[in-house]
Copies of this chain bind each other. A is one copy, B any other.
Amino acid sequence: MVVLALNYREGPTSIREIAGKENISPQYLEQIFLDLRRAELVNSVRGAKGGYKLARPPSEINIGDVVRTLEGPIAPMECVAEGSEGDCCERTQECLTRGVWEKLRDRMNEVLDDISLEDMISSRNINP
């Protein structure tokens, strides 16, 4: 996603190109981008000269969206994952640790939702 952000003004970027730069297998990257497209974080262009583009400007895509798309809901413990409320154990009432995990989960989301792709590439080091 950082590579796509850097290429935002250009045409679509192919998996092959990104895979080469980041030293990831093209086949694996493909899986990842399918998920990103289904989440509408990127658009795809099929066929020769095709590839992927960010669906929105880098400033409007935050890391929280990317991470949650690829890794699922952020949660230090299963029982505080968004969508699985109460599924995990029956003692949510008396559980004294649950509050800790909820607080941690919320802070984690805050940190990630507060950083955009734009932030990441504008604070970049020397090498492009």
Residues of A within 8 A of B (CB): 2, 63, 93-94, 96-97, 99-100, 103-104, 107-108, 110-112, 115, 120-121, 123-127
Contact = CB atoms under 8 A, between A and B. Distances in A.
Count of identical protomers in the assembly: 2
Contact of A96 (B99, B111, B121): B121
25 contacts: A2-B97, A63-B100, A93-B127, A94-B125, A94-B126, A94-B127, A96-B120, A96-B121, A96-B123, A96-B125, A97-B120, A99-B120, A99-B123, A100-B112, A100-B115, A100-B120, A103-B111, A103-B115, A104-B108, A104-B111, A104-B112, A107-B107, A107-B108, A107-B110, A107-B111
Contacts of A126: 93-94
Given A96-B123, A99-B123, A107-B108, 18 more contacts: A2-B96, A2-B97, A63-B100, A93-B125, A93-B126, A93-B127, A94-B125, A94-B126, A94-B127, A96-B120, A96-B125, A97-B120, A99-B120, A100-B115, A100-B120, A104-B108, A107-B110, A108-B108
